Amino acid sequence: MRVNGESMNNIITHGAIIALKTDIDACDLNNNDIVVISNEGEYTVKRFYNDKINKRYIFRPDSSCPEFTDIIFSYDNCNDLQLIGKVVMYNVFL
């Protein structure tokens, strides 16, 4: 996939190409993993956090732009959330 946007620009630049491991469950992820999710047809790349205490998934940008904020889904309200895959490789243009 090609990255479009600046929400992860501290690590993955706009236009970079990423490779994903698909067929993965949220229970197979570790906090701080980079994932691609879809919510109502919109795709985004974010860091994954499983907040077990508050029973929610947090998808956090890693950006130098402060306008990007966390995307949060409670365990009970994530029907529209689709985990596309875990980023296992990306390129960086110099």
Domain that holds residue 51: 18-90
pTM above 0.85, yes or no: yes
Q: Are 37 and 22 in contact (CB under 8 A)?
A: no
Asked if residue 10 belongs to a domain, the reply is no
More confident residue, 67 or 93: 67
pLDDT value for 78: 83
| Main-chain phi, psi angles of 55, to 5 degrees | 55, 60
Q: What single string gives the DSSP state of each residue in 8-19?
A: TTTTS-TT-BEE
The CATH number of the domain holding residue 43 is: 2.10.109.10
CA dist., res. 81 & res. 83, Å (int):
7
The answer to whether residue 13 sits within a structural domain is: no
Q: How far apart are CA 62 and CA 82, in angstroms?
A: 20
Render pLDDT for 15-70 as a digit per residue (tens, 0 to 9): 999 999 999 988 899 999 999 999 888 899 999 999 999 999 999 999 999 999 99
- Asked, for residue 24, whether it belongs to a domain, the answer is yes
Task: Give a yes or no: residue 26 inside a domain.
Answer: yes
How many structural domains does the chain have? 1
